[in-house]
Amino acid sequence: MAGFFVDVSPLRASRDFRMLFIGQTVSRLGRQVTLVAAPIQVFDLTGSTLAVGLLGLAQFPALFLGSVVGGLASDSRDRRMVLIWAQVLFAASTAGLAFNAASAEPSTVAVFVLTAANAFVSGIDSPARSASIPRLVESRLLPTAYALQILMFQTANAIGPAVAGVLISQVSLAAAYWVDTATFGVALLTVLFMAPIPPPEDSAPPGLRSITESLRFIRSKQEVQGVFLIDINAMIFGMPRALFPEMGLEVFNGNEATVGYMFAAPGIGAMLVGLTSGWVSRIVKPGRATTIAVVIWGLGIAGFGLTSSLWLALALLALAGAGDAISAVFRQTILQLSTPDRLRGRLSAVQIAVVAGGPRIGDAEAGAVAAGFGPRVAAWTGGLAAAIGAVVIGRYLPRFREWERPEPDAAAEAESSR
């Protein structure tokens, strides 16, 4: 049973990984509060699920631009300094949201602009974090380290939205945003205690040439293409976040806390996977595992759209979250062990654009379908499309499906030769 539960070896082995993990845990909790607060505020101000969906879509260009900047900076600058500046900018954008929410006439435009600014900073922050982890832990510990990251993300995803629902219903929207602002101070402090993470000696200077180098690498690696495509498929078709305000408040006749529970349910399922992730290091074909996990995600979302029971809906969202967590662990493993360190920042940036951008496009897709056919139809058709798409991608990208994780010694030798 010891090999079944989460392995905390990376936290014991690396002080800097421990600092990164602690700071990110706190800031992730805060970010989940804002993730719930902004859609609720837009729905309150406009009464439109389509507007909630467009909130996510409006963030995508900023996220994409930020990920380009973040990827180039992470491969050519000290990754620790990139993280330091990101925390400062995060705090500034969420403080702006708090001031807007507390004003006599809150502005919908301000919510769109400030959440877009937050997305831009996220595009800078996330590649630096992802690319730093292989420098902080040994290659043999990478799957375990990413499993811990997923556990941390999903624990925050489970707790943060529930806290947000209670804060918003019992205190105010502004209070929710201020909580998020405060968490970035903690994250900044932990990063300051880390050692510098200078760029690799063979890193290319930022510019068009370094961008084209990363694109050529992606074209040459079918396994990397699969990592990106299977997540785009899952998020664009199967992401139900934009539906939660209408589903919680009107379909299930709940309140803001009900909406918070819907946001939290996938995180609870993923958290349970993280707590029992001791087995992930024994999977030698993570491409196959990813395909199965995305099918689970899609079927869970489809079931959510078909049920009339709130508790069953939450359980199905938890099942979907479990599939998403498994997929994330193995996608990260494939990407980082297939990519040389000089390219990790840029490839991580592409992944962040997919991971964070896909859901925003998915928000718009779900909102548009809901506007025409209702939120239930938007959920079950999208979930079914995500499941079918995963099977198609696994079939037509065999090098992704059959990719085998290198043995620990081989991975370490490959890493040292880069």
Instruction: Output the DSSP codes for 267-326.
Output: HHHHHHHHHTGGGGGG-S-HHHHHHHHHHHHHHHHHHHHH---HHHHHHHHHHHHHHHHH
Kindly report the CATH number that applies to the domain delimited by 9-416.
1.20.1250.20
Domain boundaries, the chain: 9-416
Q: List pLDDT tens digits, range 272-328.
A: 877 777 776 677 788 889 999 999 999 999 999 888 888 999 999 999 998 988 888
CA-closest candidate to residue 347, choices 212, 197, 214: 214
Residues 118-144 have pLDDT tens digits of: 989 988 898 888 888 888 888 777 777
Pick the closest to residue 221 from 350, 129, 313 (CA basis): 350
Q: What is the pLDDT of residue 210?
A: 67
> What pLDDT is attached to residue 81?
92
Global pTM reads 0.69
CA distances (Å), 191 to each of 20, 112, 286, in order? 6, 29, 31
Residue written as tokens 């899952």? 234
In terms of Cα–Cα distance, which of 236, 175, 182, 234 is closest to 36? Answer: 175
- CA–CA separation, 167 and 172 (whole Å): 6
CA atoms of 46 and 103, how far apart (whole Å): 17
Q: Check residue 72 and give its pLDDT.
A: 81
Ranges of the chain with pLDDT below 50: 1-2, 410-418
